Structure 1
Amino acid sequence: MSTLAPVRVALAGWGAIGRVVGTALAAGEVPGATLACVVDNRPLGDAAPAEQVSFETAIDRADLVVEAAGQGVVRAWGERVLTSGTDLLVASTGALTDEDLAKRLLSAGPGRVYFTGGAVGGLDLLQAVRALGPLDEVLLTTTKLPATLEQPWMSEESLHRLRTATQPVEVMAGTARDVPVKFPRSTNVAASVALAVGDLDAVRVRVVADPAAVRTRHVIEASGPHGAYRFEVSHTPDADNPATSRVVPHAVLRSVGAIAGRPGQIL
């Protein structure tokens, strides 16, 4: 039996993802990790199973900050967490489309930065494939319910097209550099694929609205001289936040377990 002290986790965000993560940590469901405190910009009262504190206090109390609050938190606090010596697990990987921020996070320390795969698989293999050379083509197609893809920047014509769609409609096509900026709550997967591949511009992204999309679907297709790869996942959306999938908090918990040294993990 390990005699190491449990990893003290500060959870940033008490939304659809954070509630599941925090409740599981507080219940001791991740061996080697414990919930130390919660950070949120809303007063939580007794809703959270650990004390709600400021970000500054959380950094002092924790060995690991788990971000489940959105890209803005990564931008505002990510580097500071790492320079304080605290580790950081990022769920909102879409923030990494800011290459300057990504470089700062990857070079900051002494804290270590980690990224969770979230709602998609195959990223470990794509990251391994990089050792064989660059891929010729990488395409991600994300399909969601139209209502989850509505954005403030859209024109009335675009919104009408979404709201009256009776079949799949392509909402946007671009690269992993462009698309997550336009859909910050819906396309963290695009940034995660680019992180695995190592190039934002190498990943082409299609965002599709489908009124029949009972499940959110992500399809990754990649090919190069050393092989061809295809990964497809289809998830039930979270009931409280349909822009994310129900599996995402469990992917975060798996990442916390890996960081805490939980045995039996696939790395």
Structure 2
Amino acid sequence: MKVAVIGYGAIGSFVVAHLNAEPSIEVAAVFSLPPPLTCPAPGVGSIEALLATRPDLVIECAGHQALREAGETVIRNGTDLLVVSVGALADAALERTLRDAAASGGGRLLIPGGALGGIDAISAAREAGLDSVEYSGRKAPAAWKGTPAEKMIALNAVTSAETFLECDARTAALQFPQNANVVAALALAGLGFEKTKVRLIVDPAANGNNHSFVARGAFGEITATIRSTTLPSNPKTSVLAPFSLIQTIKKRAGLILA
């Protein structure tokens, strides 16, 4: 299978390195601005040049703005698009644009579970009768630096776990694009952005990025807790996030059956 990657930051470089080790998958092109100084795959200077390599799948690893600028072009080209920046779909207009492009005969919009497990169970629960979904994200102060959390709580002064934001999934995903993509994936699988409740917590004792959720309804109850170590190159990103992409790509290539 031939793939192309948009973005060569912490996640993009991680994904390219792992896919290059898989003989059944060819990384045909990487588009990143500025161009990477070193990259094991061919670099291109535009989305048009990336699509000219005729990939079977494009993986977006470049952030919310990149998805806004390139997502529709990729899908209308008839190419499947695997999205890292799931939180960008909290922008209702962007979600509608990409889904309309897919529905009009374009490629498919593919959403990975990312750092969060249990997404398949939430989708099944939605069909069986889902009433409520509540998510909690717990991370160390360093993981919240460079985000709006700095204006909501004095991160350096926190001595024990403190909740600094309670809101719906749309608000969390839009305000914390680097930290809360998981809540967007959860919302899309379940009750939607407005009905998915979110609590964000800073915890000096947190070891890695901690995600948990409780879902209740006619189907029963689902409780899940995930603690993931972070990427050394980016403490905001759980190491499970790029591996979720890699698993999705391998499934798409027929290398994993379940």
Q: Output the TM-score relative to the length of structure 1.
A: 0.90
Q: How far off is 1:151 after superposition?
A: 4.3
2:166 corresponds to 1:173: yes
1:236 maps to 229
Classify 1:112/1:49 alpha carbon distance in 2 versus 1 (closer, same or farther; 3 Å): same
2:26 maps to 34
Q: How far off is 1:105 after superposition?
A: 1.3
Q: How far off is 1:147 after superposition?
A: 2.3
Classify 1:121/1:155 alpha carbon distance in 2 versus 1 (closer, same or farther; 3 Å): closer
User: Contact conserved, 2:2 with 2:57, CA < 8 A, in 1?
Assistant: yes
CA distance in 1, matches of 2:219, 2:161: 33
The more displaced of 107-116 and 173-182 is 107-116
Q: How far off is 1:198 after superposition?
A: 4.0
CA distance in 1, matches of 2:22, 2:8: 18
CA distance in 2, matches of 1:250, 1:239: 14
User: Contact conserved, 1:223 with 1:229, CA < 8 A, in 2?
Assistant: yes
2:117 maps to 121
1:9 maps to 3
Classify 1:154/1:123 alpha carbon distance in 2 versus 1 (closer, same or farther; 3 Å): closer
Q: SS in structure 2 opposite 1:178?
A: helix
CA distance in 2, matches of 1:192, 1:155: 24
Q: How far off is 1:154 after superposition?
A: 5.7
Aligned partner letter, 1:150: K
Q: SS in structure 2 opposite 1:17?
A: helix
1:190-243: CA deviation from partner (whole Å, max 9, x where unpaired)? 000001004111110000001111211000100012210011100111111000
Aligned partner letter, 2:22: G
CA distance in 1, matches of 2:35, 2:238: 25
1:141 maps to 136
Aligned partner letter, 1:205: V
Aligned partner letter, 1:142: G
Unmatched 5+ residue regions in structure 1?
1-6
Classify 1:152/1:115 alpha carbon distance in 2 versus 1 (closer, same or farther; 3 Å): closer
User: Contact conserved, 1:37 with 1:50, CA < 8 A, in 2?
Assistant: yes
Aligned partner letter, 2:138: T
1:111 maps to 107
Q: SS in structure 2 opposite 1:85?
A: coil
CA distance in 1, matches of 2:246, 2:147: 32
What percentage of residue pairs aligned between the two structures are identical?
Answer: 35
CA distance in 1, matches of 2:70, 2:145: 28
1:82 maps to 75
CA distance in 1, matches of 2:218, 2:240: 33
Aligned partner letter, 1:113: L
1:24 maps to 18
CA distance in 2, matches of 1:43, 1:17: 15
1:18-73: CA deviation from partner (whole Å, max 9, x where unpaired)? 112101112226x3x2100111112313x211111022111221221101111111
Aligned partner letter, 1:215: G
CA distance in 2, matches of 1:152, 1:236: 19
Unmatched 5+ residue regions in structure 2?
none
CA distance in 2, matches of 1:154, 1:244: 16
Classify 1:212/1:229 alpha carbon distance in 2 versus 1 (closer, same or farther; 3 Å): same
2:47 maps to 55
The more displaced of 124-133 and 187-196 is 124-133
Q: 2:219 aligns with which of 217, 226, 231?
A: 226
